[in-house]
Structure formats: structure tokens, C-alpha cells
Amino acid sequence: MQSFELDKTDVQRFKLALESDDDATLTTLVSEYHASEIAILFESLSQESRERIISLLDAELASEVISEMDAEFHPEKLLENLHPERRSEIVEELDYDDATDIISQLPEEQQQEILQHLDEEDASNIRSLLKYEEDTAGGLMNTQVIKINEALTKKDALDEIIRQSEEMEEFYTINVIDDQNILKGIVSLKDIIKAKFNVRIHELIQPDFVFVKAETDQEEVAKLISQYNLTSIPVVDDHMHLLGRITFDDVIDVMEEENTEDILKISGVSEDEELAGNWKEAVKSRLPWLILNLGTAFLAASVIRYYDDTIIKLGILAGYMTMIAGMGGNAATQSLAVTIRRISLTDLTDNQAYRTVLKEFTVGLINGAVIGFIIFLFALFYDENPMLGLVIFTAMTGNLVIAGLAGSSIPLLLKRVGIDPAVASSIIITTFTDVIGFSLLLGLASKLLL
């Protein structure tokens, strides 16, 4: 299937069909699109229009559309105004993990109302998932798993796999348990098929397997699946009882969520701000960070005020000050982005952290010297002042070295003391590069040019 890109024509077709009040025409139009495409189109439609379309879809397609919707567009709200029976039909078509994610966003009273109208097995599975934190393996897992007893023969195992798979869209690995539901290992369907007729499953078990506890952070789960190239990973409790599984497609969503969160944090935007939110939410999210940044900017301004006499006597420095600060900020942001990405991918050892800082120091020194030399030549030929060029060269080189050191060491230090490095690093390094850059330029100018 080709990738779907939202087109004005698609949106217009839906809006015209919605205005016509002809449900038959609207139903025919919707049938031309995949569930994921409908979910994308929903982003451009009003809540009322979404509810009308969902009401026309069969329960299976409606559940697929709701599960494909981005959380920012609140798929749970589509369930609120539906008739209880219709709502139950849709929820029962959802995978347990998707149903849990959506229902968990509703008020407690509405959650219980929905669960009361589900059959006992579905309600029990969803309730068991609701007790886990959203960003843990337990909150991410699906309780629908293929599991067979280690004592089964090949024939009995295949019969059991066929029986259990009728309730699942797909499965990647087969979990092997004992009589107490304790996970003993995993086995591939290929190994079972190739095995001799009288073999028992315990002889085919892969005892060295990767698993996670229910309380494991979702980011750690994503790292394990990526590291070991897994299609799914079992989830167990503290006593190795099998609870569920997490598949790679769930992890893709986690990685996208974590990456978006890190980008927003580095930019000084709260993770609570929705990308598609209104201006009020954006102001509420960003203003506190800007006020904090204003406080640090006063530090840089105080350096400039301290050297008032130097600037008055050497007004030409004003233009170079913006260059020093701007280049330092850009270099620090580059170093910060690389370091935070490394931290997010793996826990750095002391030696790796040292090598990271040393690398950024070296990069800052070389880049600073090259950029500083270019500006030195400019001052030499344009301003005809080699001493000014030397001052700017030294200040630029020093500031880019500081930028590299700050951009790499500060997030590592924050991580070490338990503070999220993506949240606080950008504001701190901006202060470092501005203050150090201005101090070097104006301080050297005061000593060497006056």
C-alpha cells in the first residue's frame, strides 16, 4: 500500500458529503479509505463530524480508526456520546492494550460505565491493564499471547496454537509455560513444525530469552527490542508469571513519543503541550520557560553593563558581540543534541562520558579556531586592525570550546544527579555561552585595545 498524504481534495470530499446529510453517500466515500487514512482525515474535521462518521462504520472498522488516531485528537471522546451497546461493540473489537490506552483517558465514572457493558473476559483483561502506569511495560502490553505448556507433544502444541491464534490477528513468538503459568522460555513455530512427531515442547525451548518486568519503563522496553532485534517481548511479574507481550509496532509509537518529548524539552517546551493545541495551551506551556530564560539573560546583560566604558570607546565591538553569542549558542545546541541523543540510547559508562566530553572539547577547539580565523581575516582587511582580529579570534575560539564542554558535560551531570537533561540543559548552556563569550570579548578588548 502506498503512503497516504492528506490532500485538500480528500478533506473537501468529506466536508461536502457531511454537508449533504446523505448517510449513504458518506458511507460509500468512507469505504474508499483505509482506517489509518480516515484517522488522518479526522484531524481536519470537527468533533461532531468525527462522531457522525464513526456512527456509520461497522464496529471493526470503527475500532481500527479509533486505535489509529493520534492521542492528541482524543479518540476517547468519540466513545463518550455513543450508545452503550454501540460503544461496547467497538471496544470489544480493540486489542486490549489499545482499549486500555483509550479508556484510561476517560473519567473514572465513564470508565466503569464502559467496562460494565463489556463481557466479563474483556472487562477483566482491561481492568488488569488499567492498574499499570501508562509509561511502563505493564501499561504497554497486550494480554493476548500464545502460550503452551512445556509438557505438550508436537501435535498437541500445534492444536493449541491453532486454537489460541483464532482470537489474534498475528503472533511472532510462542511462550512456553509450566502448570503454574511461569514462563520457562520461548520457541519458534518453525522449530515446532520441523521437530520430530514425538518430541515434547520442553526439548525445543530457547532458555536464553529476553523479557521485561511489568514495571519496566517503556523507554527501556524500546531499547531492548531494538538491541536484540525482537518482534515481541514477554512481560512477567516478579515471580516470572507470564502477564502479556509487547510487540514492535507498540514500540514504534513509544520511540516516536519519546523523541517528540525530547525535542520539545530541548526547545524549552513542556511535554504537556499538544502539537495541535490552541494558542492558550501554547502560551501556558512556554511562558514559564521564557521567563526563566529571561532571568538567565540578565546575567549576560550584567556582563555587558560591566564593560560599558569599553563598548562606548570601542563601538565596533557591538557587532562582533552578536556573532560571538550566536555562534556559541549554535555550537552548544549541536553538542547538546548529540549528547542527549547518546544518553537516550544508552547509559554511558564513566569512560564513555569522559570520551564524549573530550570529543566535544576537541570539536569546539577546531571549529572555534577555524571560525575565529575567518573573523580575524575580516577584521584585518575590513577594519584594518590586527589586534582587534586577535581579540575576536581568541574570544570565538574560547567560546566554542566552552560551548562544546557545556553542551556535553551539563546534560551528563544532570543525568548523574537524577534531573532530566533535556529539560534544563538548553537554558543553562545558553547562559554559559553568552556570559563567557561576552566576558572573553569585552575583557580582552579592555586589556589589549584600550
Inform me whether the pLDDT recorded for 134 exceeds 60.
Answer: yes
Taking only the tens place, the pLDDT of each residue in 257-305 is 766 666 666 555 555 555 555 677 777 767 777 787 788 788 888 999 9
Share of the chain above pLDDT 90, in %: 42
Inform me whether the pLDDT recorded for 317 exceeds 60.
Answer: yes
pLDDT of residue 43: 84
- According to CATH, the topology of domain 279-448 is Tetracycline Repressor; domain 2 (1.10.357)
Inform me whether the pLDDT recorded for 437 exceeds 50.
Answer: yes
pLDDT of residue 1: 42
Averaged over 371-376, what is the pLDDT?
93
- At residue 252 the predicted structure's pLDDT band, cuts being 50, 70 and 90, is confident
Task: Give dist(CA 285, CA 437) in Å, integer.
Answer: 30
Q: Within 13 Å and on the Cβ side, how many CA atoms surround 9?
A: 2
Pairing of strands 174-177, 147-149: parallel
pLDDT of residue 223: 86
pLDDT of residue 408: 92
Inform me whether the pLDDT recorded for 250 exceeds 60.
Answer: yes
Instruction: Write the CA distances from 213 to 176, 315, 364, 410, integer angstroms.
Output: 17, 64, 42, 32
Averaged over 401-429, what is the pLDDT?
83
Inform me whether the pLDDT recorded for 211 exceeds 90.
Answer: yes
Write a three-state SS string for the chain: CCCCCCCHHHHHHHHHHHHCCCHHHHHHHHCCCCHHHHHHHHCCCCHHHHHHHHHHCCHHHHHHHHHHCCHHHCCCHHHHCCCHHHHHHHHHHCCHHHHHHHHCCCCHHHHHHHHHCCCHHHHHHHHHHHCCCCCEHHHHCECCCCEEECCCEHHHHHHHHHHHHCCCCCCCCEEEECCCCEEEEEECHHHHHHCCCCCEHHHCCECCCCCEECCCEHHHHHHHHHHCCCCEEEEECCCCEEEEEEEHHHHHHHHHHHHHHHHHHHCCCCCCCCCCCCHHHHHHHHHHHHHHHHHHHHHHHHHHHHCHHHHHHCCCHHHHHHHHHHHHHHHHHHHHHHHHHHHHHCCCCHHHHHHHHHHHHHHHHHHHHHHHHHHHHHHHHCCCCHHHHHHHHHHHHHHHHHHHHHHHHHHHHHHHCCCCHHHHHHHHHHHHHHHHHHHHHHHHHHHHCC
Share of the chain above pLDDT 70, in %: 92
pLDDT of residue 248: 87
Q: Between 275 and 83, whose confidence is greater? A: 83
pLDDT of residue 6: 60
pLDDT of residue 158: 94
pLDDT of residue 2: 46
Inform me whether the pLDDT recorded for 251 exceeds 80.
Answer: yes
Averaged over 233-237, what is the pLDDT?
95
pLDDT of residue 70: 84
pLDDT of residue 444: 94
Inform me whether the pLDDT recorded for 125 exceeds 70.
Answer: yes
Inform me whether the pLDDT recorded for 214 exceeds 80.
Answer: yes
Task: Give dist(CA 31, CA 138) in Å, integer.
Answer: 35
Inform me whether the pLDDT recorded for 349 exceeds 90.
Answer: no
Inform me whether the pLDDT recorded for 110 exceeds 90.
Answer: no
Taking only the tens place, the pLDDT of each residue in 18-54 is 888 788 889 899 989 999 999 988 988 888 999 999 9
What homologous superfamily is domain 147-248 in, according to CATH?
Answer: CBS-domain (3.10.580.10)
pLDDT of residue 267: 59
pLDDT of residue 272: 56
- According to CATH, the topology of domain 8-131 is MgtE N-terminal fold (1.25.60)
Inform me whether the pLDDT recorded for 373 exceeds 70.
Answer: yes
Mean pLDDT of the chain: 87
Among 49-58, 216-225, 389-398, 420-429, the range scoring the smallest mean pLDDT is: 420-429
Pick from 70, 73, 419: which is nearest to 257 by CA?
70
Averaged over 12-20, what is the pLDDT?
86
Say if 8-131 and 147-248 have the same CATH topology: no
Cα-only R_g, the chain: 30
Is the backbone of residue 121 left (phi > 0), alpha (psi -120 to 50) or beta? Answer: alpha
Domain ranges of the chain: 8-131, 147-248, 279-448
Task: Give dist(CA 74, CA 277) in Å, integer.
Answer: 11
Averaged over 360-378, what is the pLDDT?
94
